[in-house]
Every structure is written in C-alpha cells, then in structure tokens.
Amino acid sequence: MQTAPSSLPKPPNYRVGAALSSSKGAAHGDKPVSEVWRPELTRLPRLTWGRRLFRGFIRALARCLVFAGSKATVSGLENFPKKGPALVVINHLGDADGVLGLAFWPAFTDALAKIELFDLPVLGWIIDTLGVIWVHRGRPDKRALSAALDGLQSGRIIMIAPEARESVIGALEEGTRGAAFLALKANVPIVPVTVTGTENERIYGNLKRLRRTPVTLRVGKPFVLPKLALSRSPERSEGSAEGQANRHEALRQATRLIMEALAGQLPPEYRGVYNYVDRVGAAQGKDV
C-alpha cells in the first residue's frame, strides 16, 4: 500500500464544492443537483442471503454482457481488495462502467448511486435489489454520507465516482469532495479504478452495428491519504472561520490527490482537467 504525499503543485483555478455536492466552474457548467428528494430510500444495503444470491446472478449476467459487447483489457485485479474496509474511486464515462466492474472485480462493492435511477422501470428495481446507497447529488445528503461511513466502519467496500456524474467531456471532470471526506473520516485505503472506451455513444453505437467495443479496466495500487484534520480540536473550533477554512483546505487537498491518482492511470486524452498530471506525476507516493 502507498501513501499520498501531502503537498503537490497546485493546479490553477482549482475549486471544490461541498461534499457529495457540485464543484463550480467545471467544464460544461455546474454539476447536477437532484430534483428528487427521497431520503427514506437512503441506507446501507443489508447483506441478506437473497441479496448475495442476486448479486451472484447479476455478476454472471454482467460477464455475459461484457463478453458479447466488448473486447475488455483488464489489469491490476491483484490490487483490488477481497474484503474491506476500502473506498473504491472510479472515473465515470458511461453506463457500461458499472457492468465492467461487476464482471471482473473479485469482491462486491456497495456503490453510491444517484436517486434518479430508482424510478427507472426494471433497471431501478435491479439496482435497488443489487444493493446501493442512494444519493441526492448536489444536496447536503447526510444520510448517504452516514450510510457510507457505516459501511466502511463495518468492513465493507464502498464505491464512489468523485466526478458525481457521467463525464460530459469524455475525460476527467473536476472532482467533488465526497470521496475525500469519506476516506479521511473513516481512515481507509483508497483503491483507484479507471475505465476507458465505455462512453455511451461508443458502446451503443457499436452495439447497433453488432460490433464489440474495445474497453479497458485498470485497478491501481491502494493508497492512503496523508493525515489532514477534519474533526474539531480544542484550539480550533470547527464552527469558527479558521476551523472551516482548515477543513475546506484539507478536503481540497485530499480531493486533488484522489483525482490525480485517477489521472495518473489514464492515457492523456482521458485526463481532462487534470492533464497536468503527466508533468507532475500521479498523486500516489512512496510505499509504506
């Protein structure tokens, strides 16, 4: 396992929004904000025998779909933990991202998924039965954060897409700070996962032509964030202006390290707003 260095060159105009919220100034406008508000659906999924059996069925189905519709190149599976606690962070290009992960990961994750998917016919039922943590994007969803923290504290593997949506630029967008908050608060290793070739227009376009799409899935080495204080201290109250500024800075640094770790695993054309990483190197640092 590795630890990320606490200081790296700061990219220009870097801004991070609220945890699980939008980051202003991202390419193609602000991050989406959920219009749906159904907090009663947000919870850590119970690992019943029925859910375990259903997950096994969905994994088999995902493998069939991946084989039929893509030419997958997979690397780094030895880095994926067989058990938690761990936080998986993944770039998000299209609908096939999750299917690709389900097909190859050696252990199941409890993913944070946008609440809008719940009401989709059939698919919403499948996702909910599979077991996810429903999240209201761009809103102060404390229930989602609490459910994810409960999962990490109980030894589960939680997955989150720090970009908070499918990329609209076909490459990394600016990260939101929910992943950093969870990793720092729970003090768990981060597993960076990157995909390429899974953009919807490519996947669905090739399916219409009965062609298989080349895709890649790469699992990087787990790393831990440096100690960046989020909690209240006697000297600096979290509610004070100084305490809030320190907390914001800790999340800003941690988010940047996470996104740079993802960018460091991607080819240049997929690094997006983190294209400077090929100059300063990925966020992951020395072995520990």
As a whole number of angstroms, the distance between CA 250 and CA 220 comes to 23
CATH class of 11-280: alpha beta
State pTM to two decimals.
Answer: 0.85
Average pLDDT for residues 71-81, to the nearest whole number? 97
pLDDT tens profile 235-252? 445 567 777 788 889 999
Q: What are the pLDDT digits (tens) for 2-54?
A: 555 443 334 333 333 334 443 333 444 588 899 999 999 999 999 999 999 99
Where along the chain do its domains lie? 11-280
Question: What pLDDT does 239 receive?
Answer: 60
- Counting other chains too, the contacts that 140-148 makes at CB distance below 8 Å and 24 or more residues apart are 140/18, 140/20, 140/21, 141/20, 141/39, 141/42, 143/39, 143/42, 143/43, 144/20, 144/42, 144/112, 145/19, 145/20, 145/178, 145/181, 145/182, 147/42, 147/43, 147/44, 148/44, 148/110, 148/112, 148/182
Question: Quick one: how far is CA 87 from the chain centroid?
Answer: 8
